[in-house]
């Protein structure tokens, strides 16, 4: 089923305890659309880049079957740029630079071929743009999932709250859930977020897994313990791509299937962190993905 992905497509510069990159391709929608392509052949991207953005990444998306009709290229402008530095535990990071560039004036255009959207993934970018995308779809998708970030809580909280009223699922990390609600306990924070509009909230806890809440149910999945954690950038977006990708592939949005989707999201994120940027997501196979899913199933099977 068709999956429309909106979000940043960007340059990132990353420092981790293991190394440092110059500008490499990043951005929420880069991770999400690459990940989505392993689940549905109908992944469609809405984003904007500048003339400085490498064409070979766009070609890579085409090779993966991603439709980029909704990707605008502003030849005389610069792409969004983000730079971050990870702390030793890799679970926390500081943003060093956020240069919106083309993202600052982004007017998302939805090609006619995107109007069949059944699953909408609002990846990280200005909440006002997320809202415009919802409004420009003539038919409400079967499921709308949004992701966001502390940056937008600081500069566009009212817009963010307006989007939250219109989505089914919101995905945030633990510190963002606390920032948004002023609550430390995640169960209480989740309750407050559910009161703001979404029917489900996912709280990501980095290498400590992810929680899924509805008003009446909770589910927890650990993250797969890995031998290599190189660069966590994009893990949250990749997680979101696997989550909505699985739901779009199966067409089932029950809580039970969302639990499976959380496991798919976690499995995809486990690949992402093993290499810098999007590299680990460029050449996966269904066999590799299934092996990780099996590892997950074994990790949590206590045979009780």
CA gap 248, 70 in Å, rounded: 19
10: contact with ligand AMP by CB under 6 A: yes
Q: Give the DSSP letter string of 239-258.
A: HHHHHHHHHHHHT--SHHHH
Where in 83-142 is the site for ligand AMP (CB under 6 A)?
A: 98, 124-125
In the list 237, 241, 264, 271, the residue contacting ligand AMP (rule: CB under 6 A) is: 237
CA gap 170, 192 in Å, rounded: 12
Smallest distance from ligand AMP to CB 184, Å: 21
CA gap 32, 125 in Å, rounded: 13
CA 141 to chain centroid, in Å, comes to 18
Give every CB contact of residue 182 below 8 A, 6+ residues apart in sequence.
none
Q: Are strands 43-50 and 3-6 parallel, antiparallel or unpaired?
A: parallel
Window of 22-30, 138-146, 212-220, 248-256 that interacts with ligand AMP by CB under 6 A: 22-30
Smallest distance from ligand AMP to CB 299, Å: 22
The mark string for 145-184 relative to ligand AMP (x by CB under 6 A, - otherwise) is: ----x-x---------------------------------
52 burial class (0-12, 13-18, 19+ CB within 10 angstroms)?
middle
In the list 27, 36, 127, 241, the residue contacting ligand AMP (rule: CB under 6 A) is: 27
Window of 35-43, 69-77, 230-238, 243-251 that interacts with ligand AMP by CB under 6 A: 230-238
Q: Which residues make up the interface to ligand AMP (CB under 6 A)?
A: 8, 10, 12, 26-28, 82, 98, 124-125, 149, 151, 233-237
């Amino acid at each position: 089923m068709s999956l429309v992905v909106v979000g940043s497509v960007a340059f990132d510069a990353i420092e981790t305890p293991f190394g440092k990159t110059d500008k490499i391709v990043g951005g929420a929608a880069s991770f999400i659309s690459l990940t989505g392509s392993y689940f549905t052949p109908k992944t469609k991207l809405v984003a904007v880049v500048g003339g400085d953005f490498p064409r070979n990444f766009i070609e890579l998306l085409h090779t993966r079957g991603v439709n980029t009709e909704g990707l605008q290229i502003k030849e005389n402008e610069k792409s969004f740029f983000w730079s971050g530095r990870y702390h030793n535990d890799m679970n926390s990071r500081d943003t060093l630079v956020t240069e919106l560039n083309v993202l600052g004036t982004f007017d998302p255009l939805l090609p006619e071929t995107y109007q069949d959207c059944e699953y909408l993934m609002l990846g990280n970018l200005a909440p006002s743009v997320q809202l415009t995308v919802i409004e420009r779809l003539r038919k409400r998708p079967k499921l709308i999932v949004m992701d966001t970030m502390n940056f937008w809580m600081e500069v566009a909280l009212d817009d963010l709250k307006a989007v939250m009223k219109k989505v089914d699922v919101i995905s945030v990390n633990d510190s963002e859930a606390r920032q948004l609600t002023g609550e430390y306990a995640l169960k209480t924070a989740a309750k407050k977020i559910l009161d703001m509009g979404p029917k489900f909230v996912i709280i990501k806890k980095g290498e400590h897994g992810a929680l899924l809440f509805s008003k009446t149910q909770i589910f927890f999945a650990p993250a797969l313990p890995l031998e290599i954690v190189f660069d966590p950038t994009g893990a949250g977006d990749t997680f979101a791509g696997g989550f909505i990708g699985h739901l779009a592939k199966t067409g089932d949005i029950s809580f039970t299937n969302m639990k499976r989707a959380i496991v798919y999201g976690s499995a995809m994120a486990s690949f992402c962190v093993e290499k810098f940027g999007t590299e680990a997501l460029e050449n996966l196979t269904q066999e590799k993905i299934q092996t990780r899913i099996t590892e997950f199933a074994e990790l949590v099977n206590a045979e009780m």
